Amino acid sequence: MFQYKCLNPISECGISLFDENYTTTDNLQDADAVLVRSAAMHDMKDVPNLLAVARAGAGVNNIPVEDYAEKGIVVFNTPGANANGVKEMVIAGMLLASRDLIGGHAWVEENKDNADITKAMEKAKKAFAGTEIKDKKIGVIGLGAIGVLVANVAKNLGMDVYGYDPYLSLKNAWNLSRSVHHVSSADEIFENCDFISVHVPLMDATRNIVGREGIAKMKEGAVILNFARNGLVDEDALVEALESGKLRHYVTDFPTPKVAGAKGVIAFPHLGASTEESEDNCAVMAVEQLMDYLENGNIKNSVNFPNTDMGVCQTEGRIAILHRNIPNMLTQFTSIFSKDNINITEMSNKTKGKYSYAIFDVESVVDEEAINEIAAIDGVLKVRLIK
Ligand code: MLT
């Protein structure tokens, strides 16, 4: 029986997948698994039973990923599950930055009791005129699941699209429209584009990826769109550029006290993935990944441990070992099995950066003593006997 805790409301589509082997708990200390959306977990250190965290969404900056890796806690995310929702919001943001639809709507609200509204609006409307996005240049920084969708739809809307991603995956490269210009530096985007949309995760390497120097290189009247994370755009430089009129708009899902009321800012309260479809997709993916890990030890879409798929165990037992990526680990594991005359029928050992994950399917019963011996090996983070 596994216990899970939801730190945020998670769509029933996902929760209903948990069967009679799962119960919910309010107590984090009892939880084997956590489902989270945006709740900050950095202070949640006392998690003695926790095996896995699933983030229903892409960003994991609210989770202490490295600390949890050291505790042998696997952190999952759901890449792509809400990509369409965010993509649609980016396009809406671009349209709102091009045409003063917000101002026009506010005018109608203010004049709703005017008996002459039909006549008055024909005079007033020139204040809300704008430009079209067709034939404008958009630069997409980060061509992950969301960036690729934004690039492709912008192309279909008649825009000239530039994409920058030094780590573009093969899968995303296949999905990207061939008409997108793939550039080799963010500067090329800053210098050429009318719209600049950021789609990278927030990490040390990406903090202020749109910085003061980049903003200085931008075209007069450029628009920055940030539906990825707070921290990716240098806010001091941004506000100065908006005040001076160099930038036309900053459209963001991540307002802060500094930018929320600044000139030219169009901001939303983190609504990108807040659609029924995205919430359902993320919840289903998060719960399926958690269940496969808890029941079979398989890992898919973890941000701190490698993907591993050994299917369902067909033998007497499966031993799953999260460990550091250091020499001599496998020899130590197998020597414990051979000492106890345990035959290994299948095995896998995968690595992601500093961490590795080994699975052994064995033909005979592995006793607690052997499990404890493995757990005591220097560099082992967590051992589980799955079956
Ligand atoms: C994400 O990182 O995918 C989004 O922030 C998801 C969300 O809105 O929870």
- Relative to the CA of 274, which ligand 1 atom is closest? 8
CA of 59 to the centre of ligand 1 (A): 6
Element (H, E) at 53: strand 52-55
Residue 26 has φ and ψ, to the nearest 5°, of -90, -15
| Mean per-residue pLDDT over the chain, rounded | 97
Residue 293 pLDDT: 98
Residue 122 pLDDT: 98
Q: Which residues pair with 358 in a beta bridge?
A: 321, 349
CA of 172 to the centre of ligand 1 (A): 20
CA of 278 to the centre of ligand 1 (A): 9
- Relative to the CA of 38, which ligand 1 atom is closest? 9
From 38, 77, 277, mutation site for ligand 1 pocket: most ligand atoms within 8 A of C-beta? 38
Taking CA atoms, 243 is separated from 61, 209, 238, 264, 281, in Å, by 30, 21, 9, 8, 40
Place of tokens 């708990």: 25
CA of 231 to the centre of ligand 1 (A): 15
Query: If you write DSSP's letter for every residue of 124-173 in order, what string do you get?
Result: HGGGG-----TT-EEEEE--SHHHHHHHHHHHHTT-EEEEE-TT--HHHH
Local confidence pLDDT in tens for the 387 residues of the chain: 999 999 999 999 999 999 999 999 999 999 999 999 999 999 999 999 999 999 999 999 999 999 999 999 999 999 999 999 999 999 999 999 999 999 999 999 999 999 999 999 999 999 999 999 999 999 999 999 999 999 999 999 999 999 999 999 999 999 999 999 999 999 999 999 999 999 999 999 999 999 999 999 999 999 999 999 999 999 999 999 999 999 999 999 999 999 999 999 999 999 999 999 999 999 999 999 999 999 999 999 999 999 999 999 999 999 999 999 999 999 999 999 999 999 999 999 999 999 999 999 999 989 999 999 999 999 999 999 997
Both tokens of residue 213?
């120097």
As a whole number of angstroms, the distance between CA 40 and CA 309 comes to: 30
User: Which protein residues are within 6 Å of ligand 1, measured from CB?
Assistant: 37-38, 57-59, 82, 270, 272-273
CA of 184 to the centre of ligand 1 (A): 28
CA of 80 to the centre of ligand 1 (A): 11
As a whole number of angstroms, the distance between CA 344 and CA 367 comes to: 15
Residue 387 pLDDT: 77
What does the angle CA 158 – CA 255 – CA 103 come to, to the nearest 5 degrees? Answer: 60
Residue 121 pLDDT: 98
Length of the chain (residues): 387
Contact 41, 50 (CB under 8 A): no
CA of 198 to the centre of ligand 1 (A): 14
The dihedral sign for the CA sequence 281, 282, 287, 290: positive
- For the packed helices 83-98 and 276-296, what is the interaxial angle rounded to 10 degrees? 150
- Relative to the CA of 82, which ligand 1 atom is closest? 3
Name residues whose C-beta falls within 8 Å of residue 376's C-beta, 6 or more positions apart in sequence: none
- Relative to the CA of 270, which ligand 1 atom is closest? 8
From 7, 8, 36, 37, mutation site for ligand 1 pocket: most ligand atoms within 8 A of C-beta? 37
What does the angle CA 89 – CA 198 – CA 215 come to, to the nearest 5 degrees? Answer: 125
